[in-house]
């Protein structure tokens, strides 16, 4: 909801911090050409801005800035245990962008990153080289949009198109692009690829309204999905994270019904289910920043450093969603 | 509360007059002027003085979430395109001696020019001019920022510099400095009020009655510091879930523990009650 004070904040990306070594990169130039009204500030290293102590994630979310940088060191990471591997042995993820343009109340990024500003690593080709090195040893399942929403940022970065181009040249690479965006339009002209899964996170309308600030509506997401499956793309539906509310059963029941009224179950590649879970350390940081959040007012249970709902609630929510979804999708295509 | 530092009294005077600030006689080390929501300290000239002054101000009058700090003063401009008397809101502050850079979060719209400030430890003359990287130069900004960032978030620290010369070694008298600042006081003052309104105030989790009840329970149950902390955390979550905290605490209000075993038993019971969802 807009307030009368909204016009007093600088617009998103009003300022762009540019690392000296990134400034001449063609991708940086392309991004800057798309944001001509932004003010540029030269920096030595992205961490000088992104990793300052005493940043206010909540304040920065009112007017996030872009940071253009060159990624060095480790470019690919082994998939985390809190993430679903969908039966893939060689599960990796990469963060060519850090942070997300949306502002979901439950998002783990606000506990993981010290800043709400968005870092774009312009040297995508270095990540491609590392993927190619891995591909020499084994097939790779790679999630490219975990700590961001690449499709939502496509108008600025063009990274999804670059990744799809890369995937089209490497059959033994499977890419998952996770998104809440309704921006299928940005890739509508790219022919579908058998080794790319477009994965949409779906939530009930009430959860979107209350906790997913700035994200497209459920209807808008479903429209995008419909266009993607009609074009022949593999689509994964992710009911993840499932958020506990006092009325969760009715909300998620209605959500599943709406999804499969809109989409043909046969057109869906698979479905992923996961109740909300977050690292204990991230939760501690978020509590400080959002003491009044209802999502984080749940008395979480901790298991091996990961906080989640009570085992009773977890089972009840997962079983309910599984049973609702299995009315439309065979059980072997539902992952949790 | 808005915290302001200036290097000299002639820079502070227009703000003292505008906000009708009164000298705080309790401060003998620095000259401090204040009213109920503005507090201004005169640091003296130089980067170290600015850091010491800001540290003193923010230690003696500790800021809370939602407060703002600002360093204001005159500066020299490298480029004559920036007019004398123009206010510059600094989006990058370079400490010339150390090479360290500071980046205030530019969250709010404003009516000023924006630019890079470079802070030197001595006056910049024609000889030093070629080594200037910033758009404007001063002798305090980096010191004030480095001190303030220990106390406040980067969106709540700002540096506004008013151009007084073009690094040609000309000296201004106090009256001229005051006049330059004076011309910008209305705009700076208006902007401060806007930002003050946008910075969120802390939202207390508990009502006074809930606070008192919690303290009573902690005292009666003889909870350790760690258990008190845990109880307040659970109680906070309980109130956010819109549950009646006082009602939940009532059964424990009059229990007085006399042994560690009792503390443990009643704390577990209370914890269980507050974790109901």
> Residue B75: how many CA atoms within 13 Å on its side-chain side?
36
* Sequence-separated (6 or more) residues with CB below 8 Å from residue A254: A204, A205
Burial of B144 (C-beta count, 10 Å sphere; 0-12/13-18/19+): buried
Q: At residue A1, does pLDDT exceed 50?
A: no
CB A221 within 8 A of CB A182: yes
d(C-alpha B43, C-alpha B37), whole Å:
20
CATH of residue A131: 3.80.30.30
pLDDT in tens, B53-100: 999 999 999 999 899 999 999 999 999 999 999 999 999 999 999 999
Of B106, B153, B234, the CB nearest to A56: B153
Q: Which band of pLDDT confidence, cut at 50, 70 and 90, is reported for residue B168?
A: confident
pLDDT in tens, A172-231: 999 999 999 999 999 999 999 999 999 999 999 999 999 999 999 999 999 999 999 999
**A3 is a domain residue:** no
DSSP conformational letter for B108: B
pLDDT in tens, B120-148: 999 998 888 899 999 999 999 999 999 99
**A1 is a domain residue:** no
Chain A: residue nearest B101 by CA?
Answer: A48
For residue B220 the two structure tokens come to 């009666």
Q: What pLDDT is recorded for position A226?
A: 97
Residues on chain A touching B91 (C-beta within 8 angstroms): 15, 39, 41
Phi, psi of B272 (to 5 degrees): -60, -40
Overall number of domains in chain A:
1
pLDDT in tens, A250-299: 999 999 999 999 999 999 999 999 999 999 999 999 998 899 999 999 99
Q: At residue B172, does pLDDT exceed 50?
A: yes
Distances (CA, A) of A264 to A230, A250, A270: 10, 22, 12
Q: What pLDDT is recorded for position A265?
A: 96
**A194 is a domain residue:** yes
Is B106 in contact with A63 (Cβ distance < 8 A)? yes
* Sequence-separated (6 or more) residues with CB below 8 Å from residue B10: B174, B175, B177, B178, B181
Task: Quote the percentage of chain B above a pLDDT of 90.
Answer: 79
Q: What pLDDT is recorded for position A88?
A: 76
Q: What pLDDT is recorded for position B110?
A: 97
ipTM of the assembly? 0.92
Q: What pLDDT is recorded for position A5?
A: 66
Is B101 in contact with A287 (Cβ distance < 8 A)? no
Is B240 in contact with A297 (Cβ distance < 8 A)? yes
Domain ranges of chain B: 2-198, 208-274
d(C-alpha A275, C-alpha B242), whole Å:
23
pLDDT in tens, B96-125: 999 999 999 999 999 999 999 999 999 998
**A293 is a domain residue:** yes
pLDDT in tens, A2-20: 456 678 999 999 999 999 9
Q: Residue A307's domain spans which residues?
A: 9-335
Is domain B2-198 annotated with CATH 3.40.50.2000?
Answer: no
Residues on chain B touching A292 (C-beta within 8 angstroms): 203, 205, 240
């Amino acid at each position: 909801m807009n307030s009368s004070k909204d016009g007093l904040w600088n617009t998103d990306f009003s300022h762009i911090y540019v690392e000296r070594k990134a400034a001449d990169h063609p991708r940086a130039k392309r991004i800057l050409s798309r944001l001509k009204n932004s003010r540029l500030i030269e920096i030595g290293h992205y961490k000088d801005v992104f990793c300052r102590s005493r940043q206010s994630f909540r304040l920065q979310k009112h007017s996030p800035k872009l940071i253009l940088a060159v990624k060095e060191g480790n470019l690919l990471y082994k998939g985390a245990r809190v993430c679903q591997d969908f039966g893939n042995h060689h599960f990796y993820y990469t963060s060519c962008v850090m942070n997300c343009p949306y502002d979901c109340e439950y998002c783990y990024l606000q506990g993981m990153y010290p800043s709400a500003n968005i870092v774009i690593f312009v040297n995508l080709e270095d990540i491609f080289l590392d993927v190619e090195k891995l591909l020499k040893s084994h097939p790779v399942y790679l999630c490219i949009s975990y700590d961001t929403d690449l499709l939502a940022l496509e108008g600025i970065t063009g990274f999804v198109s670059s990744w799809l181009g890369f995937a089209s040249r490497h059959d033994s690479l499977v890419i998952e692009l996770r998104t809440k965006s309704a921006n299928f339009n940005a890739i509508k002209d790219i022919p579908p690829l058998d080794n790319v899964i477009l994965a949409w996170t779906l939530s009930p309308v009430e959860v979107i309204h209350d906790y997913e600030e700035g994200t497209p509506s459920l209807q808008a997401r479903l429209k995008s999905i419909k266009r993607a499956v009609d074009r022949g793309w593999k689509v994964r539906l992710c009911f993840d994270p499932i958020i506990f509310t006092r009325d969760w059963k009715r909300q998620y029941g209605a959500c599943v019904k709406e999804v499969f009224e809109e989409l043909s179950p046969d057109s869906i590649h698979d479905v992923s289910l996961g109740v909300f879970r977050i690292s204990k350390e991230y939760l501690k940081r978020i509590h400080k920043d959002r003491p009044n959040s209802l999502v984080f007012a749940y008395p979480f249970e901790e298991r091996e450093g990961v906080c989640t709902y009570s085992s009773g609630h977890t089972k009840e929510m997962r079983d309910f969603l599984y049973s609702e979804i299995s009315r439309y999708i065979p059980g072997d295509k539902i992952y949790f | 509360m808005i915290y302001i530092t200036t290097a000299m009294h002639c820079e502070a005077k227009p703000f003292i007059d505008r906000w009708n600030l009164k000298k705080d006689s309790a401060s003998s080390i620095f000259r401090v002027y204040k009213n109920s929501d503005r507090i201004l300290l005169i640091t003296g000239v130089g980067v170290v003085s600015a850091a010491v002054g800001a540290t003193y101000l923010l230690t003696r009058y500790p800021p809370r979430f939602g407060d703002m700090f600002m360093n204001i003063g005159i500066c020299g401009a490298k480029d004559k395109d920036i007019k004398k008397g123009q206010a510059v809101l600094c989006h990058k502050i370079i400490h010339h001696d150390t090479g360290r850079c500071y980046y205030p979060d530019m969250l709010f719209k404003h009516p000023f020019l924006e630019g890079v400030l470079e802070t030197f430890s001595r006056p910049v003359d024609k000889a030093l001019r070629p080594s200037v990287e910033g758009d404007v130069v001063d002798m305090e900004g980096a010191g004030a920022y480095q001190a303030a960032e220990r106390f406040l978030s980067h969106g709540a620290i700002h540096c506004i510099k008013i151009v007084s010369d073009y690094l040609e070694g000309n000296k201004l008298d106090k009256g001229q400095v005051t006049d330059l600042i004076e011309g910008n006081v209305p705009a700076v003052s208006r902007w401060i009020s806007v930002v003050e309104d946008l910075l969120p105030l802390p939202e207390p989790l508990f009502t006074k009655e809930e606070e008192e009840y919690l303290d009573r329970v902690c005292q009666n149950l003889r909870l350790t510091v760690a258990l008190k902390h845990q109880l307040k955390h659970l109680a906070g979550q309980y109130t956010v879930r819109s549950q009646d905290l006082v009602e939940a605490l009532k059964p424990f209000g009059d229990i007085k523990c006399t042994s560690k075993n009792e503390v443990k038993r009643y704390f577990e019971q209370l914890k269980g009650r507050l974790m109901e969802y």
